[in-house]
């Protein structure tokens, strides 16, 4: 075993590379089940420090045992993401969860237009979360209302954006990297970037590279994690 039973009880922070299509809860649930079975726990607290959408991959910080008390502190750390923004089309969810609802020509978008748009997303900005989000509105999750055909009005929030960079080599797909504060929705960043170009855009792919000092380069993927603990 990597840890003794006492070490697990005292609390550990696991760095996990979340697989594509898994929800963050899927990862938490699987890790809780695996650790309980491996160590013989009847109960074990397990939580994560920051949700990743099912269509995103990358770093999840999984707190185990008494380490769950530090989740709020961990969630407050800045995060770094990389991914792809697709210009020329929007979707209701701002990513690939839903089908394209509007298309736009991209022939008139120049390199200088894109760089000018990037500069609009530097520092403190106001951002409205996607309607397909877990934010509660009138006692229900916004995404539940959205899937029922409603368009809940969500309040804007102030978030910090820094080191936002894009690569245009695969236009109309833009490869990007961005550092941001807690509460930032990268799907909204992609959607708003399209609006800044008087066009449309949505998030094609997303990967969380780091949270504070923790890097996905040091994370275990789920296959490796399960092999370690289920083989014992």
Tell me which DSSP letter residue 128 carries. P
CB-based burial label for 79 (10 Å; 0-12, 13-18, 19+): buried
Helix (H) or strand (E) holding 229: helix 222-230
| Euclidean distance between CA atoms 66 and 131, whole angstroms | 34
Q: Which of 17, 53, 95, 192 is catalytic?
A: 53
| Euclidean distance between CA atoms 21 and 42, whole angstroms | 29
Could you confirm whether 53 is annotated as catalytic? yes
**CB within 8 A of 38, min separation 6: which ones?**
1, 229, 230, 232
**CB within 8 A of 213, min separation 6: which ones?**
none
Would you list the DSSP string of 162-228? EEEEEEEEETTEEEEEEEE-TT--HHHHHHHHHHHTTS-EEEEEEEEEEETTEEGGGPEEHHHHHHH
Query: Which two tokens mark 125?
Result: 């900005």
Residue 179, number of CB atoms within 10 A of its CB: 17
Residues noted as catalytic = 53
């Amino acid at each position: 075993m990597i840890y003794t039973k006492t070490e697990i009880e005292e609390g550990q922070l696991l760095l996990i590379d979340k697989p594509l299509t898994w929800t963050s809860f899927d990862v938490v649930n699987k890790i809780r089940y695996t650790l309980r079975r491996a160590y013989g726990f009847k109960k074990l607290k397990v939580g994560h420090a920051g949700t990743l959408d099912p269509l995103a991959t990358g770093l999840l910080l999984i707190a185990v045992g008494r380490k769950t008390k530090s989740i709020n502190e961990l969630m407050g750390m800045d995060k770094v993401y990389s991914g792809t923004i697709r210009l020329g089309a929007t979707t209701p969810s701002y990513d690939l969860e839903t089908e394209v609802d509007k298309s736009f020509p991209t022939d008139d978008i120049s390199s200088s237009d894109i760089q000018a748009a990037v500069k609009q997303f530097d520092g403190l900005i106001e951002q409205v979360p996607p309607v397909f989000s877990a934010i509660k509105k009138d006692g229900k999750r916004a995404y539940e209302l959205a899937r029922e055909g409603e368009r809940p009005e969500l309040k804007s929030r102030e978030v910090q954006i820094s080191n936002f960079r894009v690569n245009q080599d695969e236009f109309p797909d833009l490869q990007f990297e961005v550092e941001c504060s807690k509460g930032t929705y990268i799907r909204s960043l992609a959607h708003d970037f399209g609006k800044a170009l008087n066009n449309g855009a949505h998030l094609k792919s997303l990967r969380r590279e780091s949270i504070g000092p923790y890097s996905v380069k040091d994370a275990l993927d789920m296959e490796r994690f399960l092999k370690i603990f289920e083989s014992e």
